[in-house]
C-alpha cells in the first residue's frame, strides 16, 4: 500500500481511516476464505481507495476494499451501465466491490493527446443516462463536491492557494443543475483502460452537468510548462 493512500485515509476519514488501515489485512483474509478469491498483489496507483488484484478459477479480478461511507452507493449504481467495467459482486458486509479485471494499460500510456481525446470522447457519448430515466434519491449531486471542499478547506489550504480554493467553490456553485445526468464524476486518463478494448473504471456516480466531466478530463495529465499548449490541442 502506498504512503500516499495511507495519508489520504488518515486525512479524509480520521479514526475510521486509521481503523481501516489496521484491519485491511484481516479483511483481505476474510475475502480469501469466504469468497475464495486468492490475493495476488496491490495495485500501485492507489490514491483514495485500496484496490487489489485477486484470482479465482484462473480468472483475474480487481477488488476494491473501502472505508464504510455513503459514496459507494453511487459507484455501485453507476456500474450497472454496460459501458463501464463489469461488476461481479458488491458485498457491504466485507466492504468490498468485486470487478472483472480489465488490465493495467491506461489511456495516458498512448502518449498521444489526439488519440486519447478521440477515445475519451467516444466513451463519454455512450456513458450518460438522463435523470428522468430513474428515480433514486440516494444519489449525490455534483454540487455536493463544493461542500467537500469547504469541509476540507483547512487541509487543502496547506498545499493550495486559498484564492484558488475559493474560486473553485464559486465555479461549482455556478454550474447549472437543472439538466441533470448520471455522470462518472471522476473521468480522466487514469480511469480509462485500453487493453483489449477501451473501458471506463472507478465511477463516482453523481447527478450533474456533463460539462463537469469535460473539464475534469482536460485538467488531467497536463505536462509542466505545456499546460496551455495541451489545453488548446484538446479543445
User: What's residue 171's pLDDT?
Assistant: 79
Say which residues have a Cβ less than 8 Å from residue 136's Cβ, sequence separation at least 6: 77
Q: Indicate if the pLDDT at residue 227 is higher than 90.
A: no
Structural domains of the chain, count: 2
Cell (9 digits) for 60: 483475474
If asked whether residues 46 and 87 sit together in one domain, one would say yes
**How confident is the model over 210-218, as a mean pLDDT?**
80
If asked whether residues 66 and 115 sit together in one domain, one would say no
Q: What is the CB neighbour count within 10 angstroms for residue 116?
A: 21
User: What's residue 124's pLDDT?
Assistant: 86
If asked whether residues 19 and 71 sit together in one domain, one would say yes
**Is residue 99 within 8 Å of residue 56, measured between CB atoms?**
no
Can you give the CATH number for the domain in which 83 is found?
3.30.200.20
The sign of the dihedral angle between the CA atoms of 121, 125, 126, 130 is positive
User: What's residue 131's pLDDT?
Assistant: 62
If asked whether residues 48 and 18 sit together in one domain, one would say yes
The sign of the dihedral angle between the CA atoms of 58, 63, 88, 93 is positive
Domain that holds residue 15: 3-100
**Is residue 186 within 8 Å of residue 202, measured between CB atoms?**
yes
**How confident is the model over 159-171, as a mean pLDDT?**
86
- Which phi and psi (to 5°) does residue 166 adopt? -60, -40
Lowest mean pLDDT segment, chosen from 45-49, 144-148, 187-191, 195-199: 144-148
Higher pLDDT, 30 or 219: 30
Amino acid at each position: 500500500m502506498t504512503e500516499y493512500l495511507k495519508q489520504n485515509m488518515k486525512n479524509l476519514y480520521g479514526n475510521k481511516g486509521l481503523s481501516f488501515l489496521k484491519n485491511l489485512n484481516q479483511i483481505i483474509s476474510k475475502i480469501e476464505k469466504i469468497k475464495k478469491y486468492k490475493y495476488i498483489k496491490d495495485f500501485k496507483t492507489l490514491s483514495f481507495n485500496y484496490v487489489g488484484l485477486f484470482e479465482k478459477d484462473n480468472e483475474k479480478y480487481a477488488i476494491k476494499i473501502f472505508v464504510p461511507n455513503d459514496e459507494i452507493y453511487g459507484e455501485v449504481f453507476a456500474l450497472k451501465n454496460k459501458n463501464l467495467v463489469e461488476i461481479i459482486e458488491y458485498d457491504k458486509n466485507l466492504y468490498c466491490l468485486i470487478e472483472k479485471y480489465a488490465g493495467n494499460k491506461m489511456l495516458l500510456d498512448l502518449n498521444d493527446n489526439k488519440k486519447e481525446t478521440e477515445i475519451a470522447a467516444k466513451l463519454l457519448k455512450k456513458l450518460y443516462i438522463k435523470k428522468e430515466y430513474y428515480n433514486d434519491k440516494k444519489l449525490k449531486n455534483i454540487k455536493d463536491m463544493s461542500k467537500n471542499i469547504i469541509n476540507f478547506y483547512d487541509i487543502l489550504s496547506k498545499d493550495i492557494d486559498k484564492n484558488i480554493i475559493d474560486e473553485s467553490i464559486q465555479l461549482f456553485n455556478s454550474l447549472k443543475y437543472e439538466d441533470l445526468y448520471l455522470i462518472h464524476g471522476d473521468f480522466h486518463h487514469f480511469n480509462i483502460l485500453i487493453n483489449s478494448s477501451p473501458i471506463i473504471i472507478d465511477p463516482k456516480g453523481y447527478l450533474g452537468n456533463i460539462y463537469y466531466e469535460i473539464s475534469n478530463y482536460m485538467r488531467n495529465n497536463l505536462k509542466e510548462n505545456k499546460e496551455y499548449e495541451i489545453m488548446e490541442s484538446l479543445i
